[in-house]
Amino acid sequence: MPRFFVTCALGLERVLGDELRAVGARDVRAARSGVGFSGDVRTAYAVCLWSRTGSRVLMPLAQVPVTTADDLYQGVHEIAWEDHLSASGTLAVDFGTDPNPAFRNTMFGAQRTKDAIVDRLRERFGIRPSVDTQAPDVRVNVRVRTGKATVSLDLSGEALHRRGYREQGVQGAAPLKESLAAGMLLLAGWNSAPGSGPLVDPLCGSGTLPIEGAWIAGDVAPGLLRSRWGFTGWLGHDSGTWAALLAEADERAERGLAASIPIMGSDRDPSAVSLARANVARAGLKGRVSIEVRDVSELGLPTGCLSGLVATNPPYGERLGDAAAARAVYNALGARLRAGFPGWRYAVLSGDDAHAEALGLTALSTFRLHNGTIPVRLDVGVVGVGLAAEAPASHVTRVDDESGGIAAFENRLRKNVRRLGRWTNRAGVTCWRAYDADLPDYSVAVDVYDCTDGVRRAVVSEYAAPSEIAPEKAARRLDQASTAAASVLGVDPADVHLKVRRRQRLLAQYEKVADTGTFHEVCESGARLLVNLDDYLDTGLFLDHRITRGLVADLAKGARLLNLFCYTGAATVRAALAGAIESTSVDMSNTYLEWARRNLELNGLDPARHLLVHGNVLAWLARAGESVHDVVFVDPPSFSSSTSMDATFDVQRDHVALLTAAGPRLAQGGTMVFSSNLRRFRLDQGAMERAGFTWEDVTAQTIPLDFARNPRIHHCFLIRRG
């Protein structure tokens, strides 16, 4: 199935991935400033028509190794352009590159690409296509990175944010890009569900947010007004499929717009209001979106509406050219929200942290985005939940900055990175813990994931703050820690993933907290493994078990492995690559077994020799027959009360019964590796002796250097039958 790639603004990858899945895209994988997917031409057309946050839909044709301009020419010349472009047609080339001596001049790269295409078609047909940079039949996209040029067709033509409701050449002051406006609303959870309440934008400018909000609520395809696409002049274009998609979109819009949700915009500038009303009319929303002249200080609660969403893009200096005036606008907005909109959700875009603080509210979520080339911050929250202060917003201060706390955190993290960085380089460790609640005021864990796509990503996990710590202070510290981690680790802020974990929740690693479906590939001792940095509190790879997995792999060379509570199968993959002749991995989660299957497949391992079994481990052990294994790895949860179990499981209470049940599956002379992450775990030595087991405590040998300051992170034992 063909692969496609959709570009987007930095920070919108997650919502774009959701959009792609909604139109039937498969194997959706996020990257920096874009998302890849598998699908047919219909799926690609649907993305063009329905993506609200994407920018360009690219269909890769070839990946060409390049070190010189001649390499580029030759590689592009070998592509069968006669299948895509008429010799009498028109083309344009967009060319981008990372630092590369051969292509410092992108115009030169575009020229060589164009030459290769027209030369091939002229050689075959005696005529050549011409260049049309404005409205070509085919737009070719070339991106050079790390010595390879990816050559694609741009199916979108113009960028997708050009919806068609703006008058040509008329933008208004500091326009909000349509794709970012839609991304703001989607990140804030805006939809057309009953009870969502109205959408209010008190600083609407040219009306982008109200229009995008109305289209989302009304199920209007964002590409429905466009008359030209990048695929219409492509020789592979399927006009019948496209016509069917348009007809379906028309029907959906007619049904969706029939259900009216109040959407209101206002602005103090009469010329902006006039422009917004014209845009609303061109968007087909006249009578459905109201735009009024009103200062933000006059903002009032819509009649009869107890809840809804206030979403806005206040001027943050780029529009006013006056930082003090910008802060005053944020201050006034925050004051009106606190005074008149309790319980309402809000989504406010800020130019920097100072603007966000002037708002006087503490967000439940903060997203680092880009409005064109301008870095911006989106705060999403609920008015009255996590309220920073009832004092005037101008008095809101960063307590931790004043006390030097964030500086101490940054210094400690930098020190850890210097110390551990040398070790990770020597040992080839690519996923490691850089900080683990070293300082009481910053009770977070910072984990580094150097992924195989060349991008460094970080996960900042906040341990739940004690009750005496005000929620707004905890939220501020998490935001500060995220910013500092990005700086110290050299990670783009969009690649810092935030999580809140609670120590008292024994099943925390299995909780689903998001639904992005985004996986990244990492490498551990030659094993290729998938991690998910968003959807669960743990990522699919327990970093403190790195040495334990190596121990299991060493024991399993030339042997048969049984992996109980296998989770995502990382230990199984390590063992199989080390030479295990066969393995059986058991878990009662279909989600994690599918993850394990993908990990096995990623490493080219034979599924006939490495079996995955869905089931309750204790029930499976009771009916496993006479099968025996040379190595048994037992890594149970600390506690489980799954509905698929007849009773609860408590590792402290039940570990002897579990190991006794697993004993018959252990071959004579074999070894059982037992691990527990319960901090206060104690092996019941008397019961183990009565059950006929001998054991060796190897906990100290299995604690990695990056977890050395927390030696109770897990317990590990080698167990044999006496």
Q: Are 25 and 59 in contact (CB under 8 A)?
A: no
Q: Which of 144-158, 263-277, 388-402 has the lowest mean pLDDT?
A: 388-402
Q: For 368-403, how does the pLDDT look when each residue is reduced to its tens digit (9 = 90+)?
A: 898 887 889 999 988 876 543 333 332 222 333 333
Q: What is the predicted pLDDT for the residue at 172?
A: 56
Distances 672 to 232, 272, 295, 569, 630 between C-alpha atoms, Å: 63, 72, 71, 17, 8
HSE-CB at 712 with a 13 A cutoff on CA atoms is: 5
Q: Which of 4-18, 86-100, 413-427, 500-514 has the lowest mean pLDDT?
A: 500-514
Q: What is the pTM of this model?
A: 0.58
Of residues 607 and 500, more confidence is placed in 607
Mean pLDDT of 536-546: 93
502 has pLDDT over 70? no
Mean pLDDT of 396-417: 66
- The proportion of the chain whose per-residue pLDDT surpasses 70, expressed as a percent, equals 89
Of residues 646 and 655, more confidence is placed in 655
Q: Which of 4-18, 19-33, 67-81, 494-508 has the lowest mean pLDDT?
A: 494-508
Mean pLDDT of 667-680: 95
DSSP state of 158: S
DSSP state of 42: H
- Count Cβ atoms within 10 A of the Cβ of residue 9 and give its class: 0-12 exposed, 13-18 middle, 19 or more buried: buried
User: Terminus-to-terminus CA distance in the chain, angstroms?
Assistant: 54
Parse the chain into domains and list their residue ranges: 3-154, 178-218+259-396, 401-510, 542-721
Q: What is the predicted pLDDT for the residue at 516?
A: 78
Do the domains at 178-218+259-396 and 542-721 have one common CATH topology? yes
702 has pLDDT over 50? yes
336 has pLDDT over 80? yes
275 has pLDDT over 70? yes
- The proportion of the chain whose per-residue pLDDT surpasses 90, expressed as a percent, equals 65
Q: What is the predicted pLDDT for the residue at 5?
A: 96
407: confidence class by pLDDT, cuts 50, 70, 90:
confident
Distances 571 to 243, 342, 540, 548, 662 between C-alpha atoms, Å: 50, 50, 11, 8, 18
Phi, then psi, of 185 in degrees rounded to 5: -65, -40
Cα angle 697-504-567, degrees, rounded to a multiple of 5: 60
467: confidence class by pLDDT, cuts 50, 70, 90:
low
Closest C-alpha to 460, from 440, 478, 439, 476: 478
Q: What is the predicted pLDDT for the residue at 505?
A: 39
Mean pLDDT of 281-285: 96
Q: What's the mean pLDDT when you consider all of the chain?
A: 88
Q: Which of 399-403, 437-441, 493-497 has the lowest mean pLDDT?
A: 399-403
Superfamily of domain covering 401-510: RNA methyltransferase domain (HRMD) like (3.30.750.80)
504 has pLDDT over 60? no
Q: For 286-308, how does the pLDDT look when each residue is reduced to its tens digit (9 = 90+)?
A: 999 999 999 999 998 887 777 89
Closest C-alpha to 161, from 86, 87, 90, 57: 57
The residues near 169 (Cβ < 8 Å, ≥ 6 apart) are none
Distances 146 to 99, 430, 507 between C-alpha atoms, Å: 9, 20, 41
Q: What is the predicted pLDDT for the residue at 596?
A: 97
Q: Which of 184-198, 350-364, 407-421 has the lowest mean pLDDT?
A: 184-198
Q: Please, what CATH class does the domain formed by 3-154 belong to?
A: alpha beta
Length of the chain: 722
Closest C-alpha to 288, from 193, 385, 215: 215
194 has pLDDT over 90? no
Q: What is the predicted pLDDT for the residue at 104?
A: 67
Mean pLDDT of 509-535: 84
Query: According to CATH, what is the number of the domain 542-721?
Result: 3.40.50.150
Of residues 692 and 627, more confidence is placed in 692
Q: Please, what CATH class does the domain formed by 178-218+259-396 belong to?
A: alpha beta
Q: Are 273 and 267 in contact (CB under 8 A)?
A: yes
317 has pLDDT over 70? no
Residue with tokens 């067709």: 153
Mean pLDDT of 597-608: 96
